[in-house]
A = this chain, B = another copy of it.
Amino acid sequence: MKPHLTSINDIAKALGVSASTVSRALKDHPDISEGTRNRIKAFAQKVNYRPNALALSLKKQVSNTIGIIIPEIVHHFFSSIISGIEDVAYSKGYRVMICQSNEDFSREEMNVQALMDHRVDGLLVCISKTTEDFSHFKSVYNNQIPMVFLDRICKEIETDRVITDDFNGARIITSHLIKTGCKRILHLGTLPQLLIGHDRQQGYLQALKENHIDFNPELIITCDTPVKVDENRDKILEIAPHIDAIFAVNDFTAVAVMNLLKNNGFDIPEDIAIAGFGDDPIATMVDPPLTTVEQQGYQMGQEAMNLLIDRLANPEGSKQPDVKIFQVELRERKSTRQLPFSEK
């Protein structure tokens, strides 16, 4: 920023007109005569004039920038969300500032602060796993900055939200395991305070119930990353001989446990069928390819941005929070058993 890009004042001085004339000419204000307008426009073009977005935001009290807070962009689901947001945002003239919380509460607080400091017009947030205190979001809410929660939400704050039907997704995939002959299904889940994890676990339980399978509490382990699979290695291998399927809360955990079992002599899916959640690209690259449910990250991002734009356009909209629930779709692959012929 040192080298002073040309400003409206520079143009005004150079052309011997006032700054306001330049400003008007550049935005085709009808008052300005065609002559001056052309002269100014030509000059602006020549010196490659670009309006200072900072000054504009300050003046207009609108930054045309929205903030995104996302746990970790490395995960395909999250980066798909971002792409969905960006594509809508760009097409409507918004910029985005992306912040990663790294699943860390205090980093998330800093992110909120930084985005507020930059006077973003609105916030799109996917809450960190470790967040249990929501006061930073409440402060956003109290300042009436529109905010949309994505995927991971906060029940205590009444905002628009875009979520996956985790309950049904888990129910569908667990039912699929049952239909293909599995009865003793291990669930690798998140800590229960994470709502999506809770809902997926409930969906799992619901599927068991609908199929009259008794629930065995030992068949739920908190284990939601490859690292945790490694930590729980002994426990999992001990249980393995007694189960015929695993439903993991996400795909990379599913893949990690699949590799663990394969390396220990289990046949997938004959000994143990495995299913994940999310349809990460990795699902099609592993052997056998992973059965999972597709979560529409890109579309969720688009929808969230659209909701935010609606709020921005209708600031006084005291209308009820919008809730968009995305259904998931089963992606049946070779890591689970085939449906009996009669069922097909």
- The reply to whether A58 and B61 form a contact with Cβ atoms under 8 Å apart is no
On whether the beta carbons of B285 and A255 are closer than 8 Å, the reply is yes
Give 30 pairs: A residue, B residue, CB < 8 Å, sorted on A: A1-B62, A1-B63, A1-B121, A1-B145, A2-B144, A3-B145, A4-B61, A5-B116, A5-B119, A48-B139, A50-B113, A50-B116, A52-B117, A52-B119, A53-B117, A54-B58, A54-B118, A58-B58, A72-B79, A73-B73, A74-B80, A79-B79, A95-B114, A98-B98, A256-B285, A259-B285, A262-B287, A282-B285, A285-B285, A285-B286
A117 to chain B, nearest CB (A): 4
Q: Which residue of B lies closest to A122 (CB)?
A: B1
Given contacts A73-B79, A97-B98, A256-B285, 4 further A-B contacts (CB under 8 A): A3-B145, A54-B63, A282-B285, A285-B286
Residues of B within 8 A of A63 (CB): 1, 54
User: Closest B-chain residue to A4, C-beta based?
Assistant: B61
Q: Point out the residue from B2, B80, B282 that lies within 8 Å of A315, measured CB to CB.
A: B2
Task: Give the number of copies in the complex.
Answer: 2
Chain B residues in 8 Å Cβ range of A2: 61, 144, 315
Chain B residues contacting A83 (CB-CB under 8 Å) are: 74, 100, 102
- The 9 tightest CB contacts between A and B, nearest first, are A3-B144, A53-B117, A74-B79, A287-B287, A98-B98, A53-B118, A73-B79, A73-B73, A54-B58
Chain B residue numbers with a CB within 8 Å of A3 are 143-145
| Residues of chain B contacted by A256 (CB below 8 angstroms) | 285
Q: A116 vs B1: C-alpha distance in the bound complex, in angstroms? A: 9
Query: A57 at interface (Cβ–Cβ under 8 A)?
Result: yes
Answer yes or no: A125 CB below 8 A from chain B CBs: no
Name A's B-contacting residues (CB within 8 A): 1-5, 48, 50-55, 57-58, 61-63, 72-74, 76, 79-80, 82-83, 86, 90, 95, 97-98, 100, 102, 110, 113-114, 116-121, 139, 143-145, 252, 255-256, 259, 262, 282, 285-287, 315
- Give CA–CA (A334, B144) in the complex, Å: 56
